[in-house]
Structure formats: structure tokens, C-alpha cells
């Protein structure tokens, strides 16, 4: 049987979808790890990015961190984290925690760079007008800079999420659950159908999450930033 | 170094450079006409840029595994990795090239037309050189991300610096992994610097302080 038929057979077999290790359960696990990591990264990176953008301090770090992390191969970092932490942890956490830490670490720089760039890209005239109206620094940040930064914050979050979903996939090699299991286990047992079927599912999941975040972006970005005003 | 012989490290670095570098050149060659089209044909721009950009959402391991289905290759074939990396390069570069062409000031274009430049000659001799800084910036991002992403191919058994990660992990040895990570970062930085240097050489007017 050829590879395409094997893949189709695996994907259409109800047994592949249900059960503890099925596609549905692993999709949920994959999404859970991914959103958890994105949330943790955003909780660190967004406030720091806003602070850097608002005060202009630490600009160098915000700009270069994203580029530097891009150069680091995530597979290598994953293995290093596991070898360092595994002897110190017990139980199921021993496999999950190192991978989750790496997911968060790799997601922080793109969110940080996006948030910083977003604040920087806020229309200076709007910022000056806000100050002229008597707004305090915090009010300028909350009412002008954050809404103005929203498009770039969201693109930072989307870039980070793609990185997280991809890295969570390869993290199956160190024992993390999720859709990567099918790719890694399928290869280990020379089951091409499972391997390629899992790859199809994870590609669709990544696409769906990106589209969902794009929809969120449309909701949270002020219409005043996307539609051309009378002055343009 | 770190339990890795120099000869082996050199060979893996060359393989790594080949698997990441060739797709960069092919990707640029594909993106130049695509990005030009996107910047030139108004209705084609957004779908073309969004469409190529979507390819970037596919996790690399998934793409390495799926390409044999599309190409009819064996899973261990270098072609899968080369094509996957080319796809990622095109996904990043099409937008950049379109931005680069859009960044060329309208009056410059009009001046070239007034001097009797035809469309094709103007694109090659005027628009393209002026787009170099923007295109080079995108190419540097694509180069660095390609170099770090190629290492994932070790999981499907295609050898390059990522093989040091899997070897080290399987033997519970930190040395090879650290050496591999460092070599990969060095390779990314070298490629990045090379592109920056080439872009500088291609845009001498920027150094003389004459506004483009």
C-alpha cells in the first residue's frame, strides 16, 4: 500500500481518534500546553515590553532578544533542559516541566519585541495630544499606547504561538504528550500512516489556531487603527 | 571538543549549511517575482502574501514528514528538507520583497520612466537595487531561522548539526548537544553577517550619505 493510502487509512480509522491516546485527546493536550505556555510568556513579556516601550529603557534588549532566540535551535535547547532537569524532578512532571519551560522561554522574545515595537509605533501626535489633554503617564499608556500597540502585540503573540506549537510537536521526543506523539511514535514503530496522519492533524491545528488568533486580533484592535480616517 | 571530533563537526556544519543555505537562494529566486507581483498587482497582493505566509504555520517536523507524500520521495531524502526550507524561505520573503518594492519612492520610478527605461529594465536596474536594504533584512531573518530549524530534521534521520543533539540525548551526554547548539548559532551568525555585508556592498550610495 502506498504512503498516501496508509495516511488516509489511519486518519479515517475511528480508533485513531478516540481513547486516551487518540487524536482528540492529544489535540486537547497540545492546545493545553500551547495556551499555557503562551499565557505564561505573555504575563512576563507584555508588561516588560510596555515598560520598555513607554520609558525607552532597555530598548537594546527588547530588539535583540527576538533575533538572538531565533538563532538558537529549539531541539538542542529542549534536550539540554531535559538532561539538566530530569535528574532533579520526579513523576510525570519530570518530562513535562522541562519542555514547558523551553516553550515559555522561546515565546517570550517575540512577544516582548512585538509589544515594544507596538508602543514605539504609536502615533506620536496621539501621544502628545493625550499629554496635552492632561493625561498622566499611566493614562497615556492605558488609553493611548496599549490600544495603539495592539496590532503588533497580537502579531508578536501569533508568532510566539506558531513557535510554541512547532516546538511542542518536537517535544514529543522528550516525552511530552500532544500531537507530536503520533509523529515520533509513528516513526519509532515504522508506521508511516500514523506519522503522516499526525503531521496532517498538527499542521491543521497550527493553521486553525493562527486563524483564531487573527480573528481575536480583529476584535481587540480598535477600528480607528485599521480603517482610514477622514484625514488620510 | 565536547566529545565531538573536529572532522565530524566540520562535515556536519557543511551539511547544515547546504541544507539551510541552498533553500535560501532558491527561496529568494522564487520570492522576487512573487513579491514583485504582490506589490504591483493590487488585487493579487493580499491573497499572495497571506497565502505564502500560511505555509509558515506548518510545524517543521510535520512538513518534513508530509513532503514525501507530495514529492514521492523517501523519508530520508535530503530533498524533503531542502523543499521544506525553501517553502519557509518563500513564506517569509514574499512579504519582504513586496515591502521592498513598495518602499521605492514613486518619483524615482517616474524619473526612470522619463529617462526612457522600459518596465523590465526599470525593475531590474532601479527598483531592485533600491529594494535591497529591505529584502536583505528579510533574508537575514529567513537565514537565521532556517539554520536553527534545519536541526529538527535530525528527528527524521537526515544528518546535520541536529544529529549531535539526538546522539547526545540518546547517550545522555551533554557535550555533543552544547557543541551542536554553539556550532548552529555560529553558522546562523556567519550567514547573517555575510548577507549584511553583501547588502552593504550592493548599496554603496547608502554609505556616501546620499539619500536614496
Could you tell me the residue range of the domain that residue A199 belongs to?
A: 22-222
Could you tell me the residue range of the domain that residue B23 belongs to?
A: 6-207
Q: Which residues contact B56 (CB under 8 A, 6 or more apart)?
A: A162, B88, B91, B92
Q: Which residues contact A171 (CB under 8 A, 6 or more apart)?
A: A78, A99, A102, A103, A178, A180
Tens digits of per-residue pLDDT, B112-153?
Answer: 999 999 988 999 999 999 999 999 999 999 999 999 999 999
Q: How far apart are the first and last CA of chain B?
A: 48
CB distance from A22 to chain B under 8 Å?
Answer: no
CB distance from A74 to chain B under 8 Å?
Answer: yes
Q: Helix B78-102 crosses helix B128-150 at what angle (to 10 degrees)? A: 150
- What's the total number of domains in chain B? 1
Q: Residue B158 maps to which CATH number?
A: 1.10.3720.10
Q: Which residues of B fall below an 8 Å CB-CB distance to A?
A: 54, 56-63, 65-66, 68-69, 75, 141, 144-145, 147-149, 151-152, 154-156, 161-162, 165-166, 168-169, 172, 174, 177-178, 180-181, 184-185, 188-189, 192
Of the pLDDT bands very low, low, confident and very high (cuts 50, 70, 90), residue B194 is very high
Give how far A180 is from chain B: nearest CA, Å. 9
**Residue A172 belongs to a domain:** yes
Cα torsion through B103, B106, B109, B113, rounded to 10: 160
Which residue on chain A is closest to B54 by alpha carbon?
A207
How high is the ipTM of this complex? 0.89
Is A210 in Cβ contact with B57 (below 8 Å)?
yes
- In angstroms, rounded to a whole number, what is the distance separating the alpha carbons of residues B85 and B26? 10
- Give the per-residue pLDDT at B210: 55
Give how far A166 is from chain B: nearest CA, Å. 4
Tens digits of per-residue pLDDT, A156-188?
Answer: 999 999 999 999 999 999 988 899 999 999 999
Q: How far apart are the first and last CA of chain A?
A: 61
**Residue A4 belongs to a domain:** no
Which residue on chain B is closest to A207 by alpha carbon?
B57
CA angle A221, A227, A228 (to 5 degrees): 140
Q: Which residues contact B30 (CB under 8 A, 6 or more apart)?
A: B86, B90
**Residue B1 belongs to a domain:** no
Give how far B197 is from chain A: nearest CA, Å. 18
Tens digits of per-residue pLDDT, B68-124?
Answer: 989 989 888 999 999 999 999 999 999 999 999 999 999 999 999 999 999 889 999
**Residue B85 belongs to a domain:** yes
Of the pLDDT bands very low, low, confident and very high (cuts 50, 70, 90), residue A37 is very high
Least confident of A221-225, B184-188, B201-205: A221-225
Which residue on chain A is closest to B60 by alpha carbon?
A166
Strands of B38-176 (E only): list them: none
**How many Cβ pairs closer than 8 A exist between chain A and B?**
123
pTM of the model: 0.90
Query: Higher-confidence residue: A62 or A6?
Result: A6
Is B188 in Cβ contact with A83 (below 8 Å)?
no
Give the cell for residue B163. Answer: 544529529
Give how far B57 is from chain A: nearest CA, Å. 6
**Residue A16 belongs to a domain:** no
Query: CA dist B85 to A85, A122, B76, B125, Å?
Result: 32, 35, 15, 29
Is A180 in Cβ contact with B148 (below 8 Å)?
no
User: Is the model's pLDDT at A204 over the cut of 50?
Assistant: yes
User: Is the model's pLDDT at B3 over the cut of 90?
Assistant: no
Q: Residue A30 maps to which CATH number?
A: 1.10.3720.10
- In angstroms, rounded to a whole number, what is the distance separating the alpha carbons of residues B14 and A1? 37
Place of cell 486518519: A11
Of the pLDDT bands very low, low, confident and very high (cuts 50, 70, 90), residue B211 is low
Amino acid at each position: 500500500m502506498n504512503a498516501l493510502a496508509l495516511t488516509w487509512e489511519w486518519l479515517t480509522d475511528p480508533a485513531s481518534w478516540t481513547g486516551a491516546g487518540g487524536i482528540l485527546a492529544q489535540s486537547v493536550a497540545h492546545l493545553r500546553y500551547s495556551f499555557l505556555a503562551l499565557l505564561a510568556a505573555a504575563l512576563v513579556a507584555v508588561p516588560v515590553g510596555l515598560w520598555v516601550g513607554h520609558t525607552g529603557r532597555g530598548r537594546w534588549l527588547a530588539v535583540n532578544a527576538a533575533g538572538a532566540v531565533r538563532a538558537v535551535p529549539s531541539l538542542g535547547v529542549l534536550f539540554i533542559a531535559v538532561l539538566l532537569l530530569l535528574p532533579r524532578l520526579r513523576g510525570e512532571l519530570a518530562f513535562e516541566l522541562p519542555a514547558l519551560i523551553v516553550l515559555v522561554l522561546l515565546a517570550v522574545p517575540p512577544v516582548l519585541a512585538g509589544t515594544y515595537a507596538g508602543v514605539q509605533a504609536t502615533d506620536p501626535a496621539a501621544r502628545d495630544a493625550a499629554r496635552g489633554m492632561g493625561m498622566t503617564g499611566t493614562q497615556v499608556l492605558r488609553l493611548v499606547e496599549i490600544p495603539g500597540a495592539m496590532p503588533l502585540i497580537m502579531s508578536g503573540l501569533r508568532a510566539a504561538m506558531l513557535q510554541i506549537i512547532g516546538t511542542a510537536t518536537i517535544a514529543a521526543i522528550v516525552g511530552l504528550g500532544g500531537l507530536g506523539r503520533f509523529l515520533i511514535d509513528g516513526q519509532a514503530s515504522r508506521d508511516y500512516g500514523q506519522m503522516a496522519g499526525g503531521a496532517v492533524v498538527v499542521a491543521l491545528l497550527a493553521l486553525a489556531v493562527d486563524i483564531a488568533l487573527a480573528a481575536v486580533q480583529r476584535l481587540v484592535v480598535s477600528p480607528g487603527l485599521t480603517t482610514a480616517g477622514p484625514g488620510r | 571538543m565536547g566529545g565531538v571530533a573536529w572532522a565530524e563537526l566540520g562535515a556536519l556544519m557543511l551539511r547544515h549549511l547546504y541544507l539551510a543555505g541552498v533553500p535560501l537562494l532558491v527561496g529568494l529566486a522564487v520570492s522576487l517575482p512573487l513579491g514583485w507581483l504582490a506589490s504591483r498587482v493590487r488585487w493579487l497582493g493580499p491573497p499572495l502574501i497571506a497565502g505564502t505566509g500560511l505555509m509558515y504555520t506548518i510545524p517543521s517536523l510535520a512538513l518534513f514528514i508530509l513532503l514525501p507524500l507530495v514529492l514521492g520521495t523517501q523519508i530520508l531524502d535530503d530533498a524533503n528538507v531542502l523543499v521544506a526550507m525553501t517553502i519557509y524561505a518563500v513564506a517569509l520573503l514574499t512579504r519582504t520583497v513586496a515591502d521592498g518594492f513598495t518602499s521605492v519612492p514613486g518619483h524615482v520610478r517616474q524619473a526612470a520612466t522619463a529617462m526612457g527605461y522600459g518596465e523590465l529594465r526599470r525593475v531590474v536596474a532601479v527598483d531592485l537595487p533600491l529594494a535591497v536594504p529591505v529584502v536583505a533584512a528579510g533574508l537575514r531573518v529567513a537565514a537565521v531561522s532556517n539554520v536553527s530549524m534545519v536541526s529538527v530534521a535530525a528527528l527524521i534521520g537526515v544528518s546535520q548539526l541536529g544529529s549531535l543533539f539526538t546522539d547526545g540525548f540518546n547517550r545522555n551526554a551533554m557535550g555533543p548537544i552544547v557543541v551542536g547548539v554553539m556550532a548552529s548559532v555560529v553558522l546562523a551568525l556567519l550567514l547573517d553577517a555575510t548577507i549584511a555585508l553583501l547588502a552593504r556592498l550592493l548599496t554603496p550610495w547608502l554609505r556616501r550619505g546620499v539619500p536614496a
